């Protein structure tokens, strides 16, 4: 068994860890800048209060690793199953903040992102299903081709967001806020014609 390597307050720049496994590493208050994690497996690792700046994470896997209170700034987060990588027991997201990120082909299934601030990020070609998103903010998000199925979006804020599809029959949405003309897109799934 490999001994755990510990890092605190370190800065990692331009690290490319692609098609590799990162095993038994613990990072606390570390900064990852311009790093690439493509098809990377995080096994037995811990990331506590770490910041990822202009990083690329794609098709990453989590095998017994824990992310706590991590911040992502200007990152590309591609083809990630958020329940598997960035949540603990599907109860709380391990992400503290997203700023200016592009999430593409993301799968959010059975996760609690209540009161989370997605505002100003691109969340495209993604799927939210069976999620708790109460009081979350998607304000000014590009949500092109992103769908919400069987989600609780009660009091969520979609003002200024565009491109989303909400399945009206299965989502709880009391008190959710939308902007015109995008709110008209909510009717698309009903098979009616608007003139």
C-alpha span between 152 and 134 (Å, rounded): 6
pLDDT of the residue at 92: 56
Q: Whole-model pTM?
A: 0.90
Residues 3 and 24: beta-carbon distance below 8 Å: yes
User: Residue 44: which residues within 8 A CB-CB, separation 6 or more?
Assistant: 4, 23, 24, 63, 64, 65
Residue in the block written with tokens 């770490």:
50
Q: Which domains, ranges and CATH numbers included, belong to the chain?
A: 1-74+87-101 (2.160.20.80), 106-195 (2.160.20.80)
What is the rounded CA–CA span in Å between residue 189 and residue 168?
8
Query: Which pLDDT belongs to residue 57?
Result: 97
Q: What are phi and psi of 72, to 5 degrees?
A: -120, 125
Question: Averaged over 166-186, what is the pLDDT?
Answer: 87
Position with higher pLDDT, 185 vs 135: 135
More confident residue, 183 or 17: 17
Give residue 195's pLDDT. Answer: 65
Cα–Cα distance measured from residue 171 to residue 185, given in angstroms and rounded to the nearest whole number: 15
pLDDT tens string 44-69: 999 999 999 999 999 999 999 989 99
Tally Cβ neighbours within 10 Å of residue 188: 12
Q: How far apart are CA 178 and CA 131, in angstroms?
A: 19
pLDDT of 194 reads 60
Measure the CA–CA gap between 39 and 47, rounded to whole angstroms: 18
pLDDT in tens, 78-128: 999 998 887 665 555 688 899 999 999 999 999 888 899 999 999 999 999
Token output for 81: 């199953």
Query: Token digits for 61?
Result: 């896997």
For the chain, the distance separating the N- and C-terminal CA atoms, rounded to the nearest angstrom, is 66
Nearest to 138 by CA among 119, 115, 164: 119
């Amino acid at each position: 068994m490999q001994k755990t390597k510990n890092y605190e307050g370190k800065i990692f720049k331009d690290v490319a860890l692609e098609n590799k496994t990162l095993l038994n590493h613990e990072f606390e208050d570390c900064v990852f800048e311009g790093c690439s994690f493509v098809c990377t497996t995080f096994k037995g690792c811990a990331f506590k209060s770490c910041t990822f700046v202009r990083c690329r994470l794609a098709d990453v896997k989590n095998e017994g690793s824990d992310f706590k209170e991590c911040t992502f700034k200007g990152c590309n987060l591609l083809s990630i199953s958020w329940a598997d990588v960035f949540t603990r027991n599907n109860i709380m997201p391990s992400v503290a903040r997203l700023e200016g990120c592009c999430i593409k082909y993301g799968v959010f299934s059975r996760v609690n992102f209540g009161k989370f601030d997605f505002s100003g990020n691109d969340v495209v070609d993604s799927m939210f299903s069976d999620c708790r998103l109460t009081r979350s903010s998607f304000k000014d998000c590009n949500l092109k081709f992103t769908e919400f199925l069987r989600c609780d979006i009660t009091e969520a804020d979609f003002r200024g967001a565009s491109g989303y599809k909400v399945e009206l029959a299965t989502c709880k949405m009391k008190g959710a806020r939308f902007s015109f003309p995008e709110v008209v897109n909510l009717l698309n799934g009903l098979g009616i014609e608007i003139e």
